Structure 1
Amino acid sequence: MTRRTQLLVLGAAVIAVLAVVLVMVAPRAGRSSLMVVITPSLDNPFFGQEALAAEQRAVALGYRTLKFSHGDDAFKQSQLIDTAIARGASAIILDNAGADASVAAVQRAKAAGVPVFLIDREISSRGAAAVQIVSNNYQGAALGGQAFAEALQEKGAYAELVGKESDTNAAIRSRGFHDVLDQYPDLKMVSRQSANWDQAQAFAVMQSILQAHPDLKGVIAGNDTMALGAVAALESAGRRDVIVVGFDGSNDARDAIAAGKMRATVLQPAHRQAQYAVELADRYLKTGKTGEREKLLMDCFLVDRTNAPRLDNFALAKPEGL
């Protein structure tokens, strides 16, 4: 082999090594700096705040953003994911439209080279999303259930308002509630109905429950929106004596707790979840990996009158002096 040939072979080898390194270090080098955020709603306080937190963190890290809402419609979600792919998104931050119904769209994004980072709700498949960051809904529901039982002094008739039946979180929260409440034989559930996470539906359902069960002592709800619908129905019936506990940690629930209209809520750290999803997406786009396992759980916190003043936009501020 001549020296010229040796130099050509060596040069080709160096180029090949450099190409591999570039692929490993910058797997999305050919893509834009666009990060797409898709949530069920931009008007609902919970989903709106997680979308805002994701957007703010992405912008701080140097990304352009687009925000969309799918309205819990899996078909619309699929179209929005196709839009994100077509616009050359680097990554998608998604609060999905159903554990089963979302799998195909998430897999399609992955196949197109657009990693999906799930927040709040998980899907029923592993390996499709880069990460699934969810609240520890069972742990949080157990906290809420215990606070509810104690507020009722472990006795009396109560009702449960359940979220959308297709949402995994609704079932997990209900199970967490009952694994605590069912231990108290003098606590009697007289009604369990879905209000689909919706305040207006919760108002109507609560009116019907009150008519059927005038001896009602408490209401435990799978989210704050339904809890506040129940509070409005109770107020219209002049029933300020009924204990209400919610789940999410919204500012509206905070205000209701301060006013004595709700006893407690369970804060799920939506703001931090959204931020962390963006941070992991940024890490993945720069290094080719997140450094974390796929499913990540974040613990929830009980919010009552003792710490409600520290609650703002689904985050608890540290006590003064710490």
Structure 2
Amino acid sequence: MSFIKNFIEQETVSRRNFLLASAYGISGAAAMRMFGPSPVQAATYADPTIAWSYRNRTNPYWNEIVSGGEAFVESLGKPKEFLTHLINEGSSEKSLADVKALLAKTNGQLALAIDTNDAPNARPVVEACVEAGAYVSTLWNKTDDLHPWDFGDNYVSHMTWSDEGPAERTARILLEAIGGKGGVVHLGGIASNNPAIERLNGLKNALKDYPDVELLDAQPADWDTQKAAQIMASFITRYGDEITGVHCANDTIGYGVLEA
């Protein structure tokens, strides 16, 4: 087996195990609290709804994360269809509205894992869950002043990691490939989305060591293929041959760039 194939297969297995463990951390912690020693609490949360709120499944990254949630549900002896999917399609307003509607439908008997789409949306989501008595874990996005320990047991956890380092390494590969000179454009995610901010910062960090490369422009493409294609087309019209490299915040944006 080739090195790259072996590496990918190992990483896939590790990632699935991680996602399964993450799902247990998200819903299992809530379940342990729900099924604690209090008989009233146990009766109230006998069979909580388990839900994932996310952008969509068109991106392989999100498809794997949601598959981890489905694997957790199956580990409880339930069909994967038991997992409720709240798909916001990149809208923070829809994300919050969907959560509030599900809280009302379940009377707060809910264990929710959510990427709130952007950082400012995390607080109203968490506050709505806490007020309803539901349990919530956030992924990727929240503001720096929002902490699980400020909300008692109901805000179970927040999981994130820095994208600046990986984005910087990717950018350095690009900058080397164009010979360390020329012009680069960046197409990012949602402007107030933590990973999008960090990935642009990673590019800017790398550019510090390449004084002959100019960042011509950087625009948010909202993680959307069609919007990325439109932005890239406008970049080509505006900058033409000045563009020697394109830095994309994720693969779905890259597809749009190739289309343009």
TM-score normalised by length of structure 2: 0.72
- Which residue among 213, 221, 230 is the counterpart of 2:257? 230
Residues 232/28 of structure 1: CA separation in 2 closer, same or farther (3 Å cut): farther
Looking at CA atoms only, which structure, 1 or 2, has the larger radius of gyration? 1
Residue 153 of structure 1 pairs with residue 153 of structure 2: no
Q: Which deviations, in whole Å up to 9, do the C-alpha atoms of 1:248-297 show, x marking residues without a partner? A: xxxxxxxxxxxxxxxxxxxxxxxxxxxxxxxxxxxxxxxxxxxxxxxxxx
Work out whether residues 59 and 65 of structure 1, in 8 Å CA contact, stay in contact via their aligned partners in 2.
no
Partner residue, 1:319:
none
Contact 1:142/1:176 (8 A) holds in 2:
yes
One-letter code aligned to 1:188: E
Asked if the contact 1:152/1:218 (under 8 Å) is kept, the reply is yes
Q: Say if 1:164 and 1:196, in contact at 8 Å, map to a contact too.
A: yes
Offset at 1:227? 1.4
Match for residue 47 of structure 1 among 41, 49, 62: 62
SS of corresponding position for 1:214: helix
Contact 2:122 2:142 (C-alpha < 8 Å) held by counterparts: no
Residue 126 of structure 1 pairs with residue 147 of structure 2: yes
- Name the counterpart of 2:85: 67
Using the alignment, how far apart are the partners of 1:169 and 1:82 within structure 2? 25
1:78 aligns with 2:96: yes
1:117 aligns with 2:131: no
Cα distance in 1 for residues equivalent to 2:97 and 2:229: 33
Aligned residue for 2:233?
Answer: 207
- Mean Cα deviation higher: 177-186 or 131-140: 131-140
Comparing both chains, which one has the higher relative contact order based on Cα–Cα distances under 8 Å and sequence gaps of 6 or more? 1
RMSD (Å) for aligned C-alpha atoms? 2.4
Contact persistence 1:39–1:96 (CA under 8 A): yes
Change (3 A) 1:232 1:75: closer
CA shift, 1:58, in A, is 2.5
Q: Matches of 1:185 and 1:26 in 2, distance apart?
A: 65
Alpha-carbon separation, structure 2, partners of 1:52 and 1:184: 40
C-alpha distance after superposition, 1:177-205 (max 9, x if no partner): 11112221111112222222111111121
* Contact residue 69 and residue 83 of structure 2 kept, 8 A: no
The size of the alignment, in residue pairs, is: 212
Following the alignment from structure 2 to structure 1, what is the Cα–Cα distance between the partners of residues 43 and 208?
A: 54
Match of 1:153, SS state, is coil
Q: Is the 8 A contact 1:35 1:66 kept in 2?
A: yes
Q: 1:168 to 1:120 in 2, by over 3 A?
A: closer
For residues 251 and 66 of structure 2, the distance between their equivalents in structure 1, rounded to whole angstroms, comes to 18
| Displacement of 1:65 | 1.6
Q: CA deviation at 1:175?
A: 0.8
Q: Does residue 144 of structure 1 match 2:170?
A: yes
Q: Report whether the alignment pairs 1:185 with 2:211.
A: yes
**Aligned 8 A contact 1:36 1:84 in 2:** no
Q: CA offsets per residue over residues 234-255 of structure 1, 9 Å max, x none?
A: xxxxxxxxxxxxxxxxxxxxxx
State how far apart, in whole Å, the 2-side matches of 1:60 and 1:195 are.
37
SS of 1:81's partner is helix
Secondary structure of 2:121's match? coil
2:53–2:88 Cα contact (<8 Å) kept: yes
Is this contact kept in 2: 1:122–1:133, CA < 8 A?
A: no
1:57-116 residue CA offsets vs partner (Å, 9 max, x unmatched) = 222234532112122333322232223323254410111132112311212212322121
- Structure 1: runs of 5+ lacking an equivalent: 1-20, 234-322
Instruction: Give the residue type in structure 2 aligned to 1:103.
Output: R
Q: Amino acid of the residue matched to residue 171 of structure 1?
A: I
User: Which of the pair is proportionally richer in helix?
Assistant: 2
2:44 partner amino acid:
G
5+ long unaligned stretches in structure 2: 1-35
Q: TM-score, normalized by length of structure 1?
A: 0.59
